[in-house]
Structures are given as structure tokens and as C-alpha cells.
Structure 1
Amino acid sequence: MNNISKKGSSGLSAIDFFMLGFGSMIGVGWTVSLNDWFYTAGGVLGTVLAFLIGTLMVIPIGLCYGEMTGSMPVSGGTMAFAYRAEGSRLSFLGGWLTSLAYIVLLPWEMIYINHILGLLFPFFTKGTPLYVIFGFEVYLGSLIFGIALTFAMILLNVKGTALAGKMQTKLTIGILVAALIIIFFGFMKANPDNLKPIYMPIESQGHKTFFGGFISILVIVPFFLAGFDAIPQAIEDANDDIDPKKIPKIIVFTIAAAGLFYILIILSAATAVHWTDFVQLESPALAFLFSWVYDGALSKFLYYVVMIGALGGLLSTYNGMFIAASKLLYSMGRSKLLPDAFSITTIHGTPVVAILFCGLATLIGPFFGTSVIAPLTNVGSLSFVLGWLITSYSTLKLRRFEGTLKRPIKAGEDYTVILISIAVSSLLVILSIIPSSPGFMTYPSLGIFIVWLILGVIFYKISQNRGEQVSEIERFELMFEKDE
């Protein structure tokens, strides 16, 4: 059970897996959401602490994913882990929630990709809007581009995960180069006084204390640190160099590197200009910041570095989550947890129906625009955390009752790391769903989440009533067929 199914030298290398996870994590938000974080927290320090503590909280969860992936190196991640621990129902719930987390990111990324392109190429937003939805203007040019990019991503993934994974590596390298330039020139203008006041109550955010501001960011940190769990989804596409013992190390290093990346970006921007001025800038605020603090050719150069870095980041997360979502839906179809159509593959062995489903979800972005950003962020964050909770619980259950399961590497020799993971995940879930909590996800977001659960029940019932119901022995063989 612990041998990784390999694709020879054409598959994904250890570097590709790191870039898949890291690129998926850092592609979200660092250019387009930075000033919103300060506004939501009521200051910079609360934001930094939330990302620091959030990173430390997520590392034990990453170790659980590492242990489980080494033991069960098949596409499916949480779905496969939960099935081994508890059976079909928890497996379906884990898979369906995790797929929501991945899918939510697809329109989210597309919205901001269109926004950046509209700034770089004004003709995308030229003329009269086609329509206005919740205050957001939708233009024909940006709509056509969003649809075209969606179809391009569909074609890329249909040709194979390895090809998409190699593109991810190139995108992530580009992001890192842009980020290093941004961090350097941000700190060149650093003034610690720009971090004051440490906290300012923001009436619209529903908190009146530093702790409240900190919590309001902490509960969405999972959304911006998610992506490391894309690594287990692509594990079947590993090349011959991959040893199961490498996977936990790659996952933990990915989380730590992403947390450090975010903190450096936050501090470089926050010290370059007073944060109360920074929150007033339009998105992407980081690009406009450099137009403010630098003059002439350097100002323009940094503006375009940020914009290109933003595009690369958004595309990397979009690509990484597209891979993860389609792989997961395929695994659920293969295991008869979803209708059998999701397991249909092309001559390249790629899950065409799952890929088309992800493409359809992406199209929400161009048609609805920024009006859905906040709800998508909240729903995605809760979904990721619930997936983490299920994986952590599965790790504990299997450690206690399947001691003979081969584990190339463990999340600690005792239960301490696993229990910390369960406690952290549970705390984040509670903070998100309690209305009186400063981290409450809002009722519209909760409504979207409930609708997804209902849709899942419908799909699950269809899969059971149309002949896809199989014995648990058969389901086990289907789920783990790639490493048998």
C-alpha cells in the first residue's frame, strides 16, 4: 500500500510537487487582497500574527497529510484516508467538502485574473458594460477572455496532469522572482512608524479589540495557506525519483515556505507606506503602492513587476487547484462515491468529465465578478478546514486501530501532533460557524455552503440508485487500484 504509482521520468519530480503545493498557496491574494487583510484586522500586527500563528497551526496538519499520503499514495487525499478509517459516508463527506474548497478557488482566481488584465489592457473593459450585478460591471471583452482562458485550462488538463504540473513549476519560479524584487524594493522604503496604530477599530468588520481583528484574519488564513493538499491529489503522477518518505517533508516545507513568503510580503508593503493609507488603494494595492513611493522609470517597472507577478500567482493557483479538483472528482467517480460519469477518461488517461465540471465552475467568475469574492473566500476557508479535520481524525483512527499499516514516515511517534491537528481544525471550524464569533463566515456564505452539501447528497443518492452501489470490498479495490 505504500508504493507510489509512477509515470517514469515524464512524471512529476520532487521539485514539481513542491512547486505544485507552493504555487497553489502563494498564488492567492498577496497582490489583490493585501490591503483588505489590513482593513479586516484593523492593523498590520494582527495580520502578521494571524499568518504566523496560522502557519504554525497548519504544520501539524501537513504532517498528518504526509503520514497518510505515504501510507496511501493514491489520488483522492482526504477521501481515501477517510474511507480507510471510517468507510463510505465519511469518505464522501471528506471528498465532497475538499472538492468544494478547490472548486471555490477557480472562479475566485478567474475574477482577479480578469481584473488585472483590465488594468493592463484597458480595452478589456472598454465601452458600455453588458450588465451590472451587485454593483460589479461586466464587460464583453473580459467575459470573452475569461471564457477563452477557461477552455485553455480545460485543454491543458485534458492533455495530462504532468504537462500542467510542469507549467506550474515555471509559473512558480516566475512568481518567486517577481516577489523577491517586490520585497526588496518594499523594504528599501521601510519606516516602522507606518505600522502604527497597532490596532484601529473598523466598525464594518464587527470587532472592537485587537484580538477580534486577529481572529477575523486567522479564520481565513486556511484559505490562503491551502494548496499543500494538492500534492496528495497528484501523487499518482510521480516520477521514478519519488520516495514516499519525501512527501511529508515536501508538504511541511511547502507550508513553512508559504507562511514566510506571506509575512515578508505583508511587512515589506506595510512598512513602505502608512497602512491606513494603504487600505484606501484600489486593488491590486501593491502595484499602486510602488507608483506612490517611487518615481519615474523605476515606478513603472515595479508596477508591471507586481502586475505580472499577480497574474503568475493567480494562474499558478488556478492551475494547481484545477489539477487537484479534477483529480479528486475523478477519484470519487472511480470509487463509485459520485456518478460513474466522473470516472470517464480520455486516451491520455485524464478525467474529462471532472475537468469539464471544474471548467463549468470556473465560469461563475467572469459572469459574477467581485460580487462573490467574500462569500467564496469564507466558504473555501471552512471547506479546507473541515477537510483537514477529517484527515487528522482519520490519521488518529488508523494509528490506533491499524498499527500494521505501512507508514514510511509518521506525524510524530505518539499522538501529540495528531491531537494538535484535530484541536486546531476544530477551533477554526467553531470560529467560522458561530454567529457571535468575530470570524463568523456570514449568513450568505453559510447558505452557499449548505447548498453545496445538498447538491452532494443528490449526487450521492444518484450514484447509489443508478447501479453504482458496490460492495465495500469492490470499492476498496477501485479506490486503491493504482497502488495495488
Structure 2
Amino acid sequence: MDSPTQEASLKKSFKPSWVFAMALGSAIGWGAFILPFDWMTASGLGGALIGLAIGGGLIAIIGFSYGYAIKSLPVTGGSVVFAMVSLGRTHSFIAGWALTLGYAGIVALNASAVTLVFRVTLPNLFQRFPLYDVAGWTIYVPEIILASAFILAFAWLNWKGSELSGRFQLWAVILLIAAVVIIFVSLLVYFFTVQPELPSAIPTGTSATAAILTMVAFAPWAYVGFDSIPQLAGEFNFSARKALGLLLWGITAATLIYMTMMVATVIAVGTDHVAYEDSAWPPGEAIAEVMGPIGLILMVVAVTMGVLTGLNGFFAASSRVVYSLGHADLVPKAFGVLDARYNTPRNAILFVAAICLITPWFGRAALTWIVDMTSAGITFAYFYTCFCAWKIARTGQVAGMDNPLRRSKVQEVLSAIGCVLAVGFLALLLVPGSPGMLDTPALVALVVWVLLGIAYYFIMMKRLKDVSEDVTQEKLLQLHA
């Protein structure tokens, strides 16, 4: 018989190397291999590198709170539980609602990125049988089939067990790192032997401050994925005290990959920026011209591994969030059921897959609106985790902890800064004139999402009117490692 209880069913099988791979692989997606050409125009090499370093540092501050919270409460569904024990059931629901759609949206975006890779590398094979256009993006039958196939494949991978998804993540990340290192070293050799002319460190007509801040504003979304780790904490087969180091190494490695791809792209493009403006994939084409066909192959390997590790990592994280909500009756109980054979959150995985299978029919352009607005949800998770860590650091204990911790003034300050950063990241999305201001379609999607959440919240509260918050909290804390 299926059981929703963590103690009886969910396996503690995640190894440290798998957790590191989940953090890094989820944080690095297609953008690291597509966007450096755009960053050349907006920020230049100097502005981009400084901005990425600052952005990585800001995310690391939040990462300290994540590590501290995981050490204190290694619980499946992480941020949902952190919100519960620090602020109550309403905030726990908000965190879960935000993360479910946020993570599922990124799963869908990565599935669409698979079709983007094929659209660039094999356009004649997949750009056939057009159906219709959505926001200027043509929908092709083969691309719908391809994206759907990858969604189903990773649903199957996660259903079969965390051992399979964890091993896949590790080997895919190893391939990604190997491809990036070879590209970077090759371009450095090219630079020192040929000595090509490079563009100015800061674009002409752009101030250094503006160039750097443009990249800093990108940071909250460049590193989304490291935060998937607390959702899996109940399945660690090692001490949760190691989580902080794994998170910080993941953030550091992600920063270095962004930086190395930026340097490689600038060396390959040089001052001939105009020649690549009409290219479907400027970094790939420029690096291929320097390295030859092997360069294009390595770029395809790198971007493909970045996309697939994102698919896998966010599938795992989103299904655990839905599972924890179901376990606590914050969504239908069926989502809190584990597969009797594989001990995985079967119904939660199928739910995430079902949502994502709708998205290929709307195209990548429309999907980016959804993902843009779900970025707001990710910042809510940042805030709740930092607030929980702040409360633990200030008082030494919250509900569910086995033993109180010594109060930490340093962590209290770091967590308070993390809360401020989370609010600042949200402001970047919502304040008019800010660098990350959401477009109108994304704002409309955000309003619809919030209204749906409010409607479901009142339905849920009517159903739970006779259930105390202590009962809900206890159910979530049963997911303790």
C-alpha cells in the first residue's frame, strides 16, 4: 500500500556529489551558452565579469541562509517547511504555490530549450509542419513532439528513483564542465598565440556603473536552481551540515562557468561584433570559427547538458514541493502519495509533467512570459528561507529541530541581508524603470497566478477550518531526514 510518510518510504539516497551536481546543473542552463554575445553589447567583458562576480557574491549571501536552514531542518519540501515553522500555514502555502509554478515553469522552459538547440543545429529536420504562430514564434509539430518526449523522459527518470536521476545529473554535469574547460583553454591558447584584437572592456557610451549593474540585475535569475537543494534535503544520505559547502561550491562553479563562457565568447568574436548580429547562435558560430567543427560539437554538448540538468533538477525539486504540500493537506492528499515500488512522489511527478506537456503548444515566446513572472515566486522562497534562518540564528531554535543551536550574530546579520536582497530582487521585477521590470504579458500572467492562488487558498482554508496549524506543521515535519 502506498504511504505518504517519509519515514517509511522516501529513500535517503542523495550523495554529496549528486547534491552538488543538482545545485550546479540547475543553476546553469542554456543562457550561459547563448547570452554572452548579448552581454558583450550591454556590459562589455569588464562590466560582465565584475557584475557576475558581484551577483555571485550576493547569491552566496542568500546561500549561507539556505545552508543554515538545511542544517537546522533537513526536510523534504525545504522552503515550504521553513515558511511554516517561522511564519505559519498561510506563508507555507504561499511558498509552495510560488515554488510549484516557478519550478514547473523552468522545467517547461528547459524542454523548449531542447527544441531551440535543434532549431539552431538541425533547422531543416524539425522546422517542418508549421501549425500557427504565438507572439511571433512559429509552432512546429516535430518540436512539440520533441519537447513532449523530453518532458516524459525526465518524468520517467524521476519516477524510477532518485538514484537514477542523481547519477544522471552527476555525469551530465561532468560532461558540461569538461566541455567548458576544453573550450576555455582552447580560446586562451588562441588568444596568446594569435593575439586577436578585443573590444573595449566597457562598451562605448556606457558608464562602468551602468554596465556592471546591468549584470548584477541578472544575478537573481542566473543562479536560480541552487535553491532546489533544500527541497531534496529529506533524502540526503549524509549529514545536512555539509549542505552549506555544497551550495557555495555550486554557486562558485556556476559563477566561473558564466565567466569562462563570457571570456571565450569575447575572444572568439573579437571586434567583429557586427558579423554575428544576424546569427542564430553567435557564441556557437564564433567559437566554431576559431576551433573548427569540434568547437561547435563542444558547444552543443555544453548547452545540451545545461538544459538537461535543468530539466532533471527542477523536475526533482518541483515534485518534492508538490509532495510536501500534499502530505500536509495543503493540496489534495493524492499528491502526498509515494509509489509503492520506486518510493518516489509518483502523483506529484505526473502532475508536474501534465502541466509541462501543455506548454510546447504555446511556443517559447509565450512561455518566457510565464517563466519571467514565476521569477517573483522564486524570490518569495529566498525571503522565507532567509527569514527562517534569521529566526533560528536569533533564537537558537524553531519547531522541528532536534536540538537547539547556539545563537549566531553573524548568521543573523547575513540572513537579514538575505531578506533585504530578496525584497530587492522582487523590486527589480515590479518597480517601473528597473532593469528587470516585467513586461506587460508577464505582469498579466502574474496577476492571474496570484488570483488563482488566492481562490485556491480560501477553498483550502474552508477544508482545513477544523485543522490546527500545529497539525499541519507536524505533518510537514514528518518529512524530516
TM-score, length basis structure 2 = 0.89
Aligned residue-pair number: 468
Contact kept, 8 Å, 2:47 with 2:201, in 1: the verdict is no
> How far does residue 120 in structure 1 lie from its aligned partner after superposition?
3.7
Q: Tell me the equivalent position of 2:231.
A: 233
In 2, the alpha carbon distance for the partners of 1:462 and 1:263 equals: 47
- Quote the offset at 1:215 in angstroms: 3.3
Is 1:417 paired with 2:418? no
- Verify the 8 A CA contact 2:59 2:219 in the aligned structure 1: no
Report SS of the residue matched to 1:415: helix
1:339 is aligned to 2:332: yes
Contact 1:28 1:224 in 2 (8 A): no
Residue 246 (structure 2) pairs with residue 250 (structure 1): yes
- Per-residue deviation, 1:283: 4.1
**Could you tell me how far 1:336 is from its partner in structure 2?**
1.9
Letter in 2 for 1:35: F
- Answer yes or no: is the 8 Å Cα contact 2:393–2:408 preserved in 1: no
Pairwise CA distance, 1:360: 2.6
Alpha-carbon distance in structure 2 between the residues aligned to 1:255 and 1:409: 27
Aligned to 1:383: 377
Task: Decide whether the 8 Å contact of 1:44 with 1:198 is kept in 2.
Answer: yes
Whether 1:114 and 2:111 are equivalent positions in the alignment is: no
Alignment of 1:72-83 (within 5 A): 72-83=73-84
- Alpha-carbon offset, residue 397 of structure 1: 2.5
Aligned equivalent of 1:69: 70
> Who is 2:3 aligned against?
none
Counterpart position of 2:471: 474
Q: Does 1:441 align with 2:435?
A: no
1:87 paired to 2:84:
no
Match of 2:135 in 1: 134
**2 CA distance for matches of 1:272 and 1:6?**
54
Structure 1 stretch 349-358 or stretch 318-327: which is displaced more?
Answer: 349-358
- How far apart are residue 352 of structure 1 and its match? 2.4
Q: Which residue of the partner structure matches residue 305 of structure 1? A: 298
Equivalent position to 1:453, from 450, 454, 460: 450
Instruction: Report the more deviating stretch, 454-463 or 65-74.
Output: 454-463
In 2 relative to 1, CA 152–9 (structure 1 residues): closer, same or farther, beyond 3 Å?
Answer: closer
1:194 aligned partner: 198
Q: Which whole-Å CA distance do the structure 2 matches of 1:228 and 1:219 have between them?
A: 17
Range that drifts further, 467-476 or 419-428? 467-476
- Measure, in 2, the Cα distance between the counterparts of 1:409 and 1:178: 44
Structure 1 residues 341, 444: CA separation in 2 closer, same or farther (over 3 Å shift)? same
CA contact (8 A) 1:97 1:387 kept: yes
1:395 — aligned with what?
Answer: 389
The alignment's TM-score, normalised by the length of structure 1, stands at 0.88
1:322 aligns with 2:322: no
In structure 2, how many angstroms separate the alpha carbons of the residues matched to 1:344 and 1:445? 33
Which whole-Å CA distance do the structure 2 matches of 1:146 and 1:53 have between them?
35
Change (3 A) 1:415 1:284: same
Q: Measured at CA, do residues 124 and 144 of structure 1 come closer, stay the same or move farther in structure 2, by a change above 3 Å?
A: farther
Q: In 2, are the aligned partners of 1:375 and 1:444 still within 8 Å (CA)?
A: yes
Could you tell me how far apart the structure 1 residues matched to 2:408 and 2:163 are? 28
How big is the shift at 1:380? 4.0
Quick check: 1:356 aligned with 2:350?
Answer: yes
CA distance in 1, matches of 2:48, 2:466: 47
Aligned-CA RMSD value:
2.7
The residue number in structure 1 matching 2:217 is 219
Q: 1:67 to 1:138 in 2, by over 3 A?
A: same
- CA distance change for structure 1 residues 65 and 126 in 2, over 3 Å: closer, same or farther? closer
- Stretches of structure 1 that go unaligned for 5 or more consecutive residues are 202-207
Distance 1:476 1:279, change over 3 A: farther
**Do structure 1's residue 271 and structure 2's residue 275 form an aligned pair?**
no
CA shift in 2, pair 1:475/1:394, >3 Å = same
- Residues 117-126 or 160-169, more deviating: 117-126
C-alpha separation in 1, matches of 2:314 and 2:199 = 34
Over residues 282-306 of structure 1, what are the superposed CA-to-partner deviations in whole Å (9 max), with x where a residue is unaligned? 3433221123334xxxx11111111
- Give the letter for the 2:135 counterpart: F
Equivalent position of 2:29 in the other structure: 27
CA distance in 1 between counterparts of 2:29 and 2:407 reads 29
How far apart in 1 are the matches of 2:406 and 2:8? 19
Q: Cα distance 1:229–1:441, how it changes in 2: closer, same or farther (>3 A)? A: same
- Cα distance change on mapping 1:283 and 1:421 into 2, 3 Å: farther
DSSP 3-state at the match of 2:339: coil
